[in-house]
Structure 1
Amino acid sequence: MKMIIKLTFLLAIAAMVLNSCNDLKDDNGNATGNVTFKITDAPFPADFVEAALITVDRLELRKAGGDCPGVPQTEQSENDEDENSHSYGNMEFNCDSGFVSIPLESTELNLLELRNGITEVLANAELPVGEYDMIRLHIVDAEIVLDDGKTFQLKVPGGNSSGLKIKLDTPLVVDENEGTEILIDFDLSRSFIVKGNGKSKKGIMGFIFKPVCRAVQESKAGVLKGFVYETPNIPVPGATVSVIQENDTITSAVTSEGGTYKILGLPAGTYTLACEKEGYATQTIPDVVISETKSTTADILLVKNP
């Protein structure tokens, strides 16, 4: 699935709309629902980084409760000696832990390209109806490429063995004949930690990869967007807009050259925004309300320090 992001995104949306309008059955006639997995990221505020790459080769979704209700226990896969492995149409289940394996080609993603509302479809699959509560993402490779071509190969903690476990903000209920989208949001600013002095390229000794991400259902989430400016005619690019709830930073965005920002997949609720950039006074906006499936606009005025 190494396509241009825009093309992949548009094709996935078309497929989701069509699938959600048809009866979904697997090869054995069992009811399934359609789930689309997208990936995006919170920003990585480093002008000297050209690419932040991860390679994913497996995606799994866990049945709530850790078992496989409704999966015929007599249909063991002929290609797997594990007595707990069973087939269900074109899917494989590990019924010992309840994870459903989603068909996925090895895919390299540049997380720096997935900012301010841009997403890439990681997988589009039909799943047995039911409730799911966790994603397991198998990351086999991670690296940082600086704008001078220097590359840092990074050790993948956990993801290269058991996989990165991401709990869904609310359980995913897959219903027959319905399409669902899950957004996986990587926070680059916390996932890639600079070793050495990050203020200059000469001072960078490497990076530590400690993936921080969240997973939300887009159908149960809202969008936050806005414009950060010094005056109505002077935008402020490169400002960080953080979304905070109960003293926890949920996610963040960095404004574009035109001063705009866009954050996807925010669960419904009330948040505080903090906007900051060097040379300006930090601006805080309380009581920003996000509603399901709605877009909320919050424009922010930044004032230069005296």
Structure 2
Amino acid sequence: MNAAVIEHAARVEVKPLSAHIGAEISGVDLTRPLPKDEVKAIRDALLKWRVVFFREQFLSHEQHVAFSAQFGELTVGHPVFGHVDGHPEIYSISKFRKATRFEGQSVLRPWTGWHTDVTAAVNPPYASILRGVTIPPYGGDTQWTNLVAAYQKLSAPLRAFVDGLRGVHRFAPPQGAAGTDAFAKAVDQHTLVSEHPLVRVHPETGERALYVSPSFLKHIAGLAPRESQALLELLWEHVTRPEFTVRFKWEPGSIAFWDNRTTAHLAPTDIFDLDFDRQLYRTTLVGDIPVGPDGQSSVAIEGSPVGAAAAVALN
């Protein structure tokens, strides 16, 4: 290794933020192409800490896309809700976005709102990269949880049981909402349904993660409805235990980069009670098809894989 590479590697600092998940990375400039050793250092930190954060990285849309492309192939901004005009790889996340706001929920649970991105697709994105632009002076924090740690903390008998189960993930209009508003119409036109293993084997590390996205996983295949509900509620409560999580306070120029194969996250709802604007932008990277401990892959029930072809079609 030459002196220049050693110097680059020495500048990258990874500061863990909690016992199981989250680290802040400094010593890099994301507005420019990264040396190979810095790309490797960031990727290594991502695999270990599941989500990594950067501060004071004031990227343009073009720089955001260029940074993301150093870690994989980009998807369209969102397979259902499209993208920012002129930037097919970027999805706008604002305070007034309707895509993930479900009005009139009768029951809120501890896991309500927690999700892993686009798990209704047969090949969910492997990673997401979210950039903060307009940030309220307080409120609006995002949380992530470590699904590998959650799996490892299950009892051995329960791990053995869930290893052999599969779940159906669906992205479809809320019951009774089809055709009533722009959100429902968009979802109705791009329904995604896939069957994934309940435990996913990470393709790079071989670790097992509970693949139980609360917002998209609707039932466990082969179980009676009450059995499925009881087990899913137990698992959803388990994966959102505070000790598996990290909470991130955004600032302008902050970036969060997370492994979608080993995490779920929770977007803030307190922002709707504040008078401040909030604007972030996200890119996602094309993922592989999940595989369970038994070697069986996920299968698509409805909808197409998420990838670059979708970006071309929407552009």
- Using structure 2 for the length normalisation, give the TM-score: 0.24
Structure scoring higher RCO (CA < 8 A, sep ≥ 6) equals: 2
- Using structure 1 for the length normalisation, give the TM-score: 0.24
Larger radius of gyration: 1
| Higher strand proportion | 1
